[in-house]
Structures are given as structure tokens and as C-alpha cells.
Amino acid sequence: MNNNIQQHEDESLLNTNGHTQATSIPAPPLQVHDAVHANPTAPLVASLPPTGQAAGPQVAAAPVLLNEMKNGSANPTSSGKGERLQLIDEDQKFNPSVKEYLSKWGIEDVGFNYDLCAVVGSQSTGKSTLLNKLFGTSFDVMNENERRQTTKGIWMSHAQHAPILILDVEGSDGRERGEDQDFERKSALFSMASAEVLMVNMWEHQVGLYQGANMGMLKTVFEVNLGLFQAAKSKTHVGKDKTLILFVIRDHIAQTPMENLSRTLLADMNRIWDSLSKPEGLESVSITDFFDFDFTSLPHKLLQPEEFDRQVLQLRGRFTERSSSQFLFKQQYHKRIPADGLPRYLDTIWEQVMTNKDLDLPTQQEMLAQFRCDEIASAAFATFSNSVKPFRKPLETGSIVDTLGADMAQHRGVALAKFDKDASRYHAEVYKRKRLELLEKLNTALLPLFLGQLRNLHKILIALFKKAIVDRLRGESYDFGQVVSEERKKALTKYNAAASLILLQDTDWSVKEELSQFEEDVDKIADQCRAEETVKMVTQIERSLKKSIAEPIELALSKPGPDMWDRALDAFRVALDKAESTYLGKAKGFNCTEEENAIALNSLRRKSWLALRSKVDEQTADPVLMSKLRGLFEDKFRYDDQGIPRVWKPDDDIDGFFSKARNDTLALIPVYARIEPSDPSKNITLPSTAEDPIHSAVVDRGEDEEFDFSETLNIFSETRKADIEARFRKEADAYYVEAKRSMVSSIAQVPMWIYAVMAALGWNEFIAIVRSPIYFTLLLLGLAGAYLVFKLNLAGPLMSVSKAVGREVHRLADDQLRAHFSQPLPQPAILAEKPSYADKPSSSNAPAEEIELEDRQKKID
Ligand SMILES: Nc1nc2c(ncn2[C@@H]2O[C@H](COP(=O)(O)OP(=O)(O)OP(=O)(O)O)[C@@H](O)[C@H]2O)c(=O)[nH]1
């Protein structure tokens, strides 16, 4: 690549006056425009409108530009502009730096707002010179001293005054390539496929020639065009993508009028066109369906430099002034390649040309559109990815991003707008397709955020739901069913609201599945709470049942008899029925299922039964039972039928009463031993856990213990029964002994006459005391002291004091005696024969009272 910036050649070689004509033929119909056609021979100055008139900014700018040209200020190097690059080198390699250059020239981002023209023609016909003058470029110009090829390959540059790209094509017909017309053909194809305006540069004297007038090259161009239509396979394409061929006749000295030259050239082209074999269906199409022709001439640059410059300037205006009627870059010639896609397009076209493939421009444009749309989409997606990255972390850590929905929509919108801005210029169908693809890609990238947000929403709302229920159930009075239904509704509303915020348009996203999963989990928690609440409720009911059965059971068990269990079970059934109806009443608000109710009722019955059993156990504990039996025995033995205590008299049948009372009481022990009502209809039966399917399910969940109903009916075993009997017998015997003793003591009463004898014998002593003042005073004092002790309740304290004193005296005496007898005695043998009280063996170790009782018993028997 040659980036040299060449100065414009010296313009002051010759200064010969001449006149210039310009003829243009837009089509259809074929027309001839001549910038000065009204008077072809008139000098150029006369043909220009006066300064300030509507005809042309190019005219107004003319003096300035002329000065630029003369002073060399149009020199591209001075402004840093006008750089060029060798687009295709001598070895026919495409330069990959086009994009870089376009960007440097500020053309990459202009979309369709640029134009492209190419110049072809025989070698050394002043093409580069003309381009440099027209556009301020810096293409190489031949050195006069050595006449040889200067432009090799195809060069590209840009205009200084407008967004115009220029292709300077290697001259044809040069001795350097000789017979080889391969590059000429390829470069012509390439130029035609890319340029809106194809300038054909030729000397005036070449008009009418075949090779010299580039007719061979033009024939190729026309053939290629027809080939393009064959590829497009549609006649509708005809007339849509036209190219303007602008003939520039150099060194026109005006001997032959421009009109004649134009006509000759047109006739030549029509002849060529006619000679071409047309594709099927396109036999009748005219050359002007594909091409517009324009003709212009320039005076001799060396002989008429001033005129040459003026004409060039005028010609420049036709390239740059969009408002001018003679503006060359008409809309219809534009190849509709956005500037950013141009490098790729040119590269592909050249590749096609190189591989001798048919040039199918529409397909190329489509392929370019695909390529560029992909590139633009990738760039937009990369920016989008970066901007949504910050959302990932909070969502991964379980947070909810409040603005996620709006943010996702905004970032997606930005990416699509970015894509639309650059890609909408390309092939419409491709653009639409690629936009859909991008949209899908963006949605796919956003999907994890959407799902993450839903996941977190689910977790957080479930936790909140649980907490709200637990908090509300802590209160004193609540309706569980209402609490659950209110909180459920709240949770679902919140979920729906939050989920709808992140549902984006143009997606197939749905929250249906997630919502149903959420509902399922909410219900699961409600069920859990309900189960806990049911257990709580059953426990409460059980507690109140315990309270309500306590008294009736105690009462029933304290009055044993054949119907003792009938009464106890009656009381239990009443309490159980009440408990069950309380449960069912409360369970209505819980929305419990039949199965849950069955489980809870089963549990309630079992727990109630166990409560009954525990009460019975309490009432049949050893001391309680013994006291009951004792009481019953006493009632029968010590009281008569009217409940009056018996005073045993010698003629009473103590033995008979005793054995009856004892046997009756002993007969009650088996009644206590087992829960068994006399009336079988009052029997209560509960299923044991082993045979209860409902309970098995509960046990499987580890919520309850094993329960064997038949076991619970037995209050105590045979061994214990025997033990109780034995103990009772002993106690009863004690009562018997006591009864006998009380009868003996009543027999041993002092007769009344003894008291009369005592009064008769002691009468003298009584009189002696009454008559003696000392004794009488002592008697009065004694009576007064007794009265005081009685009045002040001092009998107790006096007794305890006297007892304490007695004990102390006894202890002291005991100590003294022990101390005395511990000394060696003069006759120990005598003392040893009398065992002390302490050493006295207690026959059978029984307490003294018992021994005494036994003695008495023996006597009675
Ligand atoms: N007679 C005449 N000579 C010109 C004119 N314009 C340029 N020249 C001269 O023609 C010679 C060739 O000019 P270039 O601009 O290099 O021609 P070219 O067609 O670009 O040459 P290649 O790029 O090699 O094909 C130079 O010496 C110019 O000074 C013109 O209008 N008339």
C-alpha cells in the first residue's frame, strides 16, 4: 500500500485558450445535457451564471476554489486529508485496511450519506490529474519525462469537500499489461458493481475508436449487467439499480461539437448492446433500462489551463451540489450499501470477480446484510451483556431487585435501538430476521435474571407468609382458618404483582408454573401450621377433659361396688363426647380434611383414655387404695347400719361383724384391679395402634407412641392384688384387736358403791382440811391456780415444761446411776444373773405394743 501524498502537478505548463462543452444524457429517454449547450462555442465564463444567482453555489465558490487550485491549498497533504490507499494492488490483492481508512476519513458512520464514483479509461489520459483537481485527492500523476503507467491496481481516496469516495482505476490499453486484458475486465466489473457514477475518460480523438474509446471494456460492463439480471431472475429488477456512465472528453478543442461526439458514442454503445445475446425474457430491454449516459468535455489542460480549471470546477459542482438539476449522484444510482458495510461489500465483490463467479449483486447485498447485521447485533449484545451483569450478583445471593423489570426492558430496548440504528439500512428482510434473532438472544440472556428473581421472590414470600401466620397465631383469640386464608391471599397477590413487573413484552415467558409451585408451597405451610394447631387444640381439649373427669372418677372410685366402673365410664363418656364435639366445632375453621379429622379424633380419644387411666392409677396407688379399703372396712365394722359408731359390749358378736366387714372389703379389691363395667353396653373400646390404620400413618411420621388398649384395662396384677389383700388383712386385724380391747376396758369399770365407800372413809380428812385454815388456804390457792391455768390455757405449756423437767431429771439420774454402776462392783456374779432392761431379748423383735396386743389376743382366744 502506498500512502504517499503527492503534490498536485505544476499547473503552469501551457496557457492556451480553448472552449469546453459538456453534454449529459439522463435516461430514459436518452437526452443530451450540455452545461453550455445553448452556445457550445461560447467561452466558459459566459456560460456561468453571475455570482449570487440561484444557479449555483459551485459558481459562487468558483473564484475561491480557483485560487485554491492555483495556490495549491487544495493540496490534500496540507490539511491532512486526501490520503489514499491502494484498494487492489498489482497482485490483485484486496487491501483489508479499508475500514480503518473510512473511519479516518469520517465516512464509516454516515450510513447512506456518501457517494462513490470510479474513473476508468486508457492509460495516461489524465484520469488521476482530473480526480485530483475535482476532489482534492492525491493520486499519482505521470511524470512527463517518462511516459509510463502510474496508477497500478485500484486506488481509493475521498473528496475534500464532500463525502465522496473515489476509485482511480489502472488505465487500460497500457503497454505494461499488453494483451492481458484480465485486470481491465475485472476492474471494470468491480467499478460498475460498486460505483454510482462510472467516469469513462478519453481524449477527443479517441471518440469513434474501439479500443481507444474503451468500447471493449464497456461491452464487458454491459454483459455483466445482463448477467446480473439473469441472476436476479426477475424483470422487476430492471430499471431499479441503474449506473450513470459519464463520458469525459478530454482536450476537446471544439472542432467537433460535443453533440456529435455524444451521438457517436451513444451509437457505438447501442451497437454494442444490440450485439449482446440477452437472457431469456430480457430480449427487448433497452440499454437505458440499466444505464444513464452523460457526456462532458474539458478543454486542453496545458493549452487552456484557465478554461480547464473553470470547467473542472463546474464539473465538481455537479458532483457536490445536491440541489443542482445537473447533480450527478442521483438517488437511483446509489448501491444502497451503508458506509459501515462498504469494506466488507467491496471485499466480497472483488472476491467474486477474482473467482470468476457470476456477480449477483442482490445476493451480495443480502449476504453483506447478514454479515453486517450479525456484527452490529454482536456489538449491541456485548454492550447489553455488560450493562445487565450487575444484576446477577444480588439475584444469586437471594435478593430481589425491585426495578428489575424496568431495567431489563430498558437495557433490551437500548440494545435493539443500537441495532436498529445501524442495521436497518441493510436488506430489509435480513434486517427483520436478524432483529428477531437478536431479540431472542437478548430474551435468552435475560431469562436467568427473570427466573432468579422469581426464585428469590418465592423464597422470601414463603418465609414472610410463615412468619405472618406464626405471629398472628401468637395472639389470644384468632380464627385459624381466617388467618390462613387472609395471609394466603396476601402472599399470592404480592407474588402476582411482583412477577407481572418482570414479565417482558415480546417474550414467551410465563409465571404459570412458578405461581402454581408457589401456591403449592403456601398450602404446604398452611397444612403444617394446621397440623400443629390441631395438636395444640387437641392438647387443650385433653387438658379440660382431664379436669372435667377428675372429680367424677374420684367419686366413683371412692364408692366401690359392682357398678363402680359403670359410673366412672359414664362420666368419661360424657366428657369425651363433649371434647369431641368441641374439636369438631373448632376444626370447621381449620378446613381440615376428613382424614385429618379422623386422625385428630383418634388421638383425642386415645389421650383422653390415657388421662382417665392416669386418674385411675392415681386413685389406686398403694396408700390411696389402702386408705380407701381401710375406710370401707371401718364403715362396715365400726359403724352400724345407721352410721352410728359401735360401742362393743361383751355380748356383741365382734367376730361375726369383723369377718363380714373384712370379707366384704376384700371382695372389692378385684373390682379395682380391672376396668370392667357390670353393664357390657357401657364398655368403651378403642383400637390399639397395631390394628389402627389411621394411627399407623401417624406413627410412621413419628408423631405418636404405641398404644395397647386391652393392656390399659388392667389396673394392677394378681401379685399386687395378693399383696394388697395381705396388707389389708393385717390392718383389719389391728381394728379387731382394738375392738376387743375396748370391750375389755368397758368390762373393767370401777363399780359405783366403791365411790360411796371412798366418800364415807375420807369424810373425816375432808372436814379436817376445811376446818384447818392452813390446809383450807392451801386448798383455795390450789383451786385458784388450777382455775387460772384453765382460763389462760396454760395447761399445755405447763405439761411440756414439767415433762421437760422430768426428762432432764430422769436423764441426770440415769447418768448418775450409770456412772455409779460402771464402777467395779464388789459382787459382780450376783449382778450378772440379772440382765438389764436394755439387754432383755425382745421375743420376735416386735414392738412392745404389738407384744402386748398378742398377749391380749391370746387371752381373748
Ligand atoms: N494534453 C493533456 N494532458 C494532460 C491532461 N491532463 C493531464 N495531462 C497529462 O497527462 C499525463 C498523464 O496524466 P495522469 O493523470 O497520470 O494520467 P492517468 O490516466 O492517471 O495515467 P495512469 O494512471 O497511468 O493511467 C500527465 O503528464 C499529465 O500532465 C489534459 O487534460 N490534457
**Which has the higher per-residue pLDDT, 277 or 387?**
387
* 298 CA closest ligand 1 atom index: 31
User: How high is the pLDDT of residue 80?
Assistant: 42
Mutate to test the pocket of ligand 1, among 6, 16, 125, 306 (most ligand atoms within 8 A of CB): 125
Query: To test the ligand 1 pocket, which listed residue (129, 166, 200) has its Cβ within 8 A of the most ligand atoms?
Result: 129
Q: Are 80 and 344 in contact (CB under 8 A)?
A: no
ipTM of this complex prediction, to 2 decimal places: 0.96
The domain spans of the chain are 22-357, 360-510, 529-745, 751-798
Please report the pLDDT score of residue 336 as a whole number. 85
Q: For the beta carbon of residue 790, count every other beta carbon within 10 angstroms.
A: 10
Output the residue whose Cα is nearest ligand 1's atom 27: 144
CA dist 852 and 408 (Å) reads: 107
Grid coordinates representing 234 are 426477475
Query: 335 C-alpha to center of ligand 1: Å?
Result: 29
Q: Outline where DSSP puts E strands in 174-231.
A: 197-203
pLDDT at residue 461 is higher than 60: yes
- What confidence tens digit (pLDDT) does each residue in 770-790 have? 888 899 999 999 999 999 988
Write down the pLDDT at residue 855: 61
Q: State the cell numbers at 324.
A: 443542482
Mean residue pLDDT across the chain: 78
Which has more pLDDT, 765 or 827?
765
Q: Which of 122, 124, 308, 315 to mutate to test the pocket of ligand 1 (most atoms within 8 A of CB)?
A: 124
How far apart are the CA of 169 and the centre of ligand 1, in A? Answer: 13
Q: What are phi and psi of 243, to 5 degrees?
A: -125, 145
Find the mean pLDDT for residues 38-49: 30
Kind and range of the H or E run holding 660: helix 654-673
CA–CA distance, 274 with 267 (Å, rounded to integer): 10
pLDDT higher than 70, residue 753: yes
In this predicted structure, the answer to whether residue 269 has a pLDDT above a threshold of 70 is yes
Residues 702-715 have pLDDT tens digits of 455 677 888 888 88
pLDDT (0 to 100) of residue 175: 53
Ligand 1 pocket list (CB less than 6 A):
9, 123-129, 141-142, 144, 149-151, 171, 250-251, 300-302
Q: 363 — phi, psi (to 5°)?
A: -65, -40
Tell me what pLDDT residue 680 has: 86
Residue numbers in the known binding site are 121-128
Q: pLDDT (tens digit, 9 = 90+) per residue, 174-198?
A: 555 555 567 877 888 888 888 999 9
Average pLDDT on 141-168 reads 80
Better-predicted residue by pLDDT, 2 or 481: 481
Q: Whose CA is nearest to atom 26 of ligand 1?
A: 142
Judge whether 481 and 589 are in contact, CB under 8 Å: yes
Atom of ligand 1 nearest to the CA of 131: 15
Write down the CATH number for the domain with range 22-357: 3.40.50.300
Average pLDDT of the segment spanning 563-575: 91
Ligand 1 centroid, distance to 584 Cα (angstroms):
113
- Residue 121 Cα to ligand 1 middle (Å): 11
Cα of 127 vs centre of ligand 1, distance in Å, is: 6
Residue (of 139, 161, 106) closest to 318 by Cα position? 161
pLDDT given at position 255 = 72
Whose C-alpha lies nearest to ligand 1, atom 13?
126
Residue located nearest, by CA, to atom 31 of ligand 1: 301
If one compares 207 and 143, the residue with the highest pLDDT of the two is 207
Residue 128 clears pLDDT 60, i.e. is over it: yes
Query: pLDDT at position 694, please?
Result: 56
* Per-residue confidence (pLDDT) for residue 264, from 0 to 100: 87
Segment 744-750 mean pLDDT:
65
Residue 149: its pLDDT value, please?
59
CA angle (122, 126, 132) in 5-degree steps:
130
Q: What is the pLDDT of residue 180?
A: 59
How many other CB atoms sit within 10 Å of the CB of residue 634?
Answer: 16
Residue 155 three-state SS: strand
Q: Which of 471, 451, 449, 465 is nearest to 394 (CA)?
A: 449
Write out pLDDT tens, residues 495-549. Answer: 999 999 999 988 989 889 999 999 999 999 988 888 888 888 888 888 899 999 9
How far apart CA 855 and CA 861 sit, in angstroms, is: 10
Binding-site residue ranges for GTP: 121-128
Q: Kind of pairing, strands 197-203 and 115-121?
A: parallel
Distance 15 CA to ligand 1 centre (A): 16
Each residue of 600-651: pLDDT tens digit? 888 888 888 989 999 999 999 988 989 888 888 888 888 888 888 887 777 7
φ, ψ dihedrals at 759, nearest 5°: -65, -40
Helices 622-638 and 654-673: angle between axes, nearest 10 degrees: 150
Band the pLDDT of 746: cuts 50, 70, 90. Answer: low
Which atom in ligand 1 lies closest to the alpha carbon of residue 132? 15
How far is the centre of ligand 1, averaged over its atoms, from the C-alpha of 19 (Å)? Answer: 19
Q: What is the DSSP letter of 166?
A: E
Per-residue pLDDT band at 70 (split at 50, 70, 90) = very low
Please state, in angstroms and as integers, the Cα–Cα distance from residue 29 to each residue in 22, 25, 192, 794, following that order.
Answer: 18, 8, 22, 157
Q: Name the residue among 418, 265, 425 with its Cα closest to residue 334.
A: 425
- Binned at pLDDT 50, 70 and 90, residue 748 comes out as low
Q: Cell digits for 254?
A: 471544439
Q: Predicted confidence band at 64 (pLDDT cuts at 50, 70, 90)? A: very low
- Of the candidate ranges 55-69, 404-418, 685-699, the one whose mean pLDDT is the lowest: 55-69
Q: How many Å apart are CA 407 and CA 751, to the nearest integer?
A: 122
The pLDDT value recorded for residue 145 is 56
Atom of ligand 1 nearest to the CA of 250: 31
Confidence of residue 32 (pLDDT cuts 50, 70, 90): very low
Kindly give the number of the ligand 1 atom that is closest to the alpha carbon of 9: 29
Ligand 1 pocket check: which of 69, 131, 141 to mutate, most ligand atoms within 8 Å of Cβ?
Answer: 141
**pLDDT attached to residue 173:** 62
- Residue 441 has a pLDDT of 94
**DSSP per position, 337-391:** --GGGHHHHHHHHHHHHHTT----HHHHHHHHHHHHHHHHHHHHHHHHHHHHGGG
- Percent of residues, the chain, with pLDDT higher than 70: 78
First to last CA, the chain: 151
What ligand 1 atom has the least distance to the C-alpha of 174? 25
- Report the pLDDT value the prediction gives residue 227, as an integer from 0 to 100: 66
